[in-house]
């Protein structure tokens, strides 16, 4: 958002317009824009208000009812932490005894809102002036939250009485492409990590794809998923990591939180592998990213279908919230002719295809199968003890 559009939005006229807009409907946006301009409203204000209306509608997935009273930028919304995840961040600071937290890269203020919402005093900064102004709006209901435009790394943490530090370094370029090198984050990861020498209670939000080898040995690394979508990697240090160094997965599903801790913080634990049993478990993505498939296998009294594949099989059903369980109906070596005949004999016309550890392209396979029936089936293509197999399954 440019400064002129933001300035007009924050005027009494702009705020009133934004509050009066109907629920966002893309099919009516053009007509609504023309009508508002015909009524004499500045085109810059109209464009800014309709953009906010669109972003607020999109933000409901992350912020729920709070989205209707917030301001956003497109990139800021994309990188913003979901409020239910931010609440877990905030509780770490509260439980560690922090009272004044510096959010060095506050963006639109999502995490700062969660910190302030549980009574922490917050000093939030952002290097972008418009983004800092938007964060100020979003934090307006919290008197103990202060937003400053500036470089968070330049803060006098000791002089400000900061006893907890949080940062979410930018991981996209100005053109929107992803940045994978931690030294190219803004600010660079190493520069932020240096702060734990000054304030031990340091927390970081990073992208979940960062390799384990790039993580500091003294960090507790926690991969987080929300309803099956892996959303972040949190790095927690000092009193923010009561679990100690190591790895965990936090699975947030249907309003509940579930955690798996690494049994071997120094490496990936891999249980035995073996033949497919009566049940197959598909681990949540956070469990896979954290390298905790072995721990999951122990929980369900299972084994890997293959030493290199993140599917677990078991002879017994042990429902767990960190994996999806399937009942195995049939298994067969993979072959197009064999599979096509099998599905035709069972009148299958609707097919869900899952895969792991195979080069098969599901949509291409679906076309080759030329399904004509009325029944529904789910198949999983994977390696079992090194050979390509088809598992026919149903939800357990």
- pLDDT tens digits, 122-144: 999 999 999 999 999 999 999 99
Phi, psi of 30 (to 5 degrees): -60, -45
Q: What is the pLDDT of residues 326-347, one digit of tens each?
A: 999 999 999 999 999 999 999 9
Give the model's pLDDT for residue 271.
85
- How confident is the model at residue 378, as a pLDDT? 97
β-pair type (164-167, 100-103): parallel
DSSP one-letter code for 346? T
pLDDT band at 57 (very low <50, low <70, confident <90, very high): very high
Nearest to 85 by CA among 255, 244, 241, 210: 255
Of the candidates 334, 328, 266, the one whose C-alpha atom is nearest the C-alpha of residue 302 is 328
- pLDDT of residue 176 exceeding 90, the answer is no
Q: What is the mean pLDDT of the chain?
A: 95
> Rounded mean pLDDT of 236-262?
96
Whole-number pLDDT of residue 266? 76
pLDDT over 90 (residue 168):
yes
Looking up tokens 């729920």, which residue turns up? 64
The structure tokens 């009524």 sit at: 39
Q: Is the pLDDT of residue 175 over 80?
A: no
Q: What is the pLDDT of residues 215-241, one digit of tens each?
A: 999 999 999 999 999 999 999 999 999
Please tell me the pTM assigned to this model. Answer: 0.93
CA distance 18 to 284: 39
User: Is the pLDDT assigned to residue 284 strictly greater than 90?
Assistant: yes
Give residue 240's pLDDT.
Answer: 98
Residue 145 has pLDDT above 90, yes or no: yes
pLDDT score of 320: 96
Helix (H, G, I), strand (E, B) or coil at 151: coil
Condensed to tens digits (0 to 9), the pLDDT of residues 287-307 reads: 999 999 999 999 999 999 999
- Note the pLDDT of residue 267: 79
Nearby residues of 36 by Cβ (< 8 Å), 6 or more positions away? 17, 46, 49
pLDDT value, residue 3: 83
Each residue's pLDDT tens digit, 149-167: 999 999 999 999 999 999 9
Least reliable range by pLDDT among 25-34, 36-45, 102-111, 267-276: 267-276
38 pLDDT higher than 80: yes
pLDDT of 173 strictly over 90: no
Rg of the chain, C-alpha, whole Å: 25
Cα–Cα distance measured from residue 358 to residue 360, given in angstroms and rounded to the nearest whole number: 6
Report CA dihedral (375, 381, 384, 386) to the nearest 10 degrees.
150
pLDDT band for position 278 (cuts 50, 70, 90):
very high
H helix intervals, the chain: 3-9, 12-20, 29-38, 43-63, 74-79, 83-95, 110-117, 129-138, 189-193, 285-289, 293-299, 336-345, 362-369
On the 0-12 / 13-18 / 19+ scale of CB atoms within 10 A, 265 is middle
**Six token digits for residue 355:** 């895969």
- Output the pLDDT for position 270: 82
Averaged pLDDT, 374-386: 95
Q: Which residues neighbour 362 within 8 Å (Cβ) at sequence distance 6 or greater?
A: 353, 354, 355
Which residues, listed in sequence order, are joined to residue 323 by a DSSP beta bridge? 283
Q: How confident is the model at residue 78 (pLDDT cuts 50, 70, 90)?
A: very high
The span from the CA of 96 to the CA of 27, in Å, is 49
* pLDDT > 90 fraction of the chain, expressed in percent and rounded: 91
> For 247-262, what is the mean pLDDT?
96
């Amino acid at each position: 958002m440019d400064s002129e559009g933001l300035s007009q939005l924050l005027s009494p006229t702009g705020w009133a317009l934004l509050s009066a807009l109907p629920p966002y409907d893309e099919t009516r946006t053009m007509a609504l824009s023309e009508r508002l301009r015909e009524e004499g409203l500045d085109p810059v204000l109209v464009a800014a208000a309709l953009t906010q209306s669109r972003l607020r509608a999109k933000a409901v997935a992350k912020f729920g009812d709070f989205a209707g009273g917030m301001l956003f930028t497109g990139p800021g919304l994309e990188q913003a932490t979901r409020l239910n995840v931010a609440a877990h961040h905030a509780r770490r600071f509260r439980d560690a005894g922090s009272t004044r937290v510096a959010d060095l890269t506050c963006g639109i203020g999502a995490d700062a809102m969660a910190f302030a919402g549980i009574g922490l005093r917050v000093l939030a900064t952002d290097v972008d002036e418009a983004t800092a102004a938007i964060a100020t709006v979003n934090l307006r209901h919290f008197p103990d939250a202060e937003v400053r435009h500036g470089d968070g790394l330049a803060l006098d943490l000791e002089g400000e009485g900061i006893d907890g530090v949080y940062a979410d370094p930018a991981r996209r370029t100005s053109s929107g492409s992803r940045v994978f090198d931690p030294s190219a984050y803004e600010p660079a990861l190493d520069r932020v990590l240096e702060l734990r020498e000054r304030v031990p209670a340091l927390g970081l939000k990073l992208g979940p794809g960062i390799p384990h080898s790039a993580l500091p040995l003294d960090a507790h690394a926690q991969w987080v998923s929300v309803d099956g979508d892996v959303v972040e990697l949190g790095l927690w240090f000092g009193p923010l990591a009561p679990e100690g160094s190591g790895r965990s997965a936090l699975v947030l599903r249907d309003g509940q939180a579930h955690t798996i801790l690494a049994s071997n913080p120094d490496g990936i634990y891999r249980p035995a592998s073996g033949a497919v049993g009566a049940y197959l478990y598909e681990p949540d993505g956070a469990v896979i990213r954290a390298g905790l498939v072995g721990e999951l296998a122990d929980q369900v009294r299972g084994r890997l279908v293959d030493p290199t594949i993140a599917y677990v099989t078991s002879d017994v059903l042990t429902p767990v919230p960190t994996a999806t369980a399937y009942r195995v109906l049939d298994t067969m070596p993979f072959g197009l002719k064999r599979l096509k005949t099998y599905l035709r004999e069972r009148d299958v016309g609707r097919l869900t295809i899952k895969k792991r550890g195979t080069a098969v392209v599901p949509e291409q396979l679906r076309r080759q199968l030329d399904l004509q029936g009325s029944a529904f089936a789910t198949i999983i293509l994977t390696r079992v003890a090194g050979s390509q197999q088809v598992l026919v399954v149903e939800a357990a």
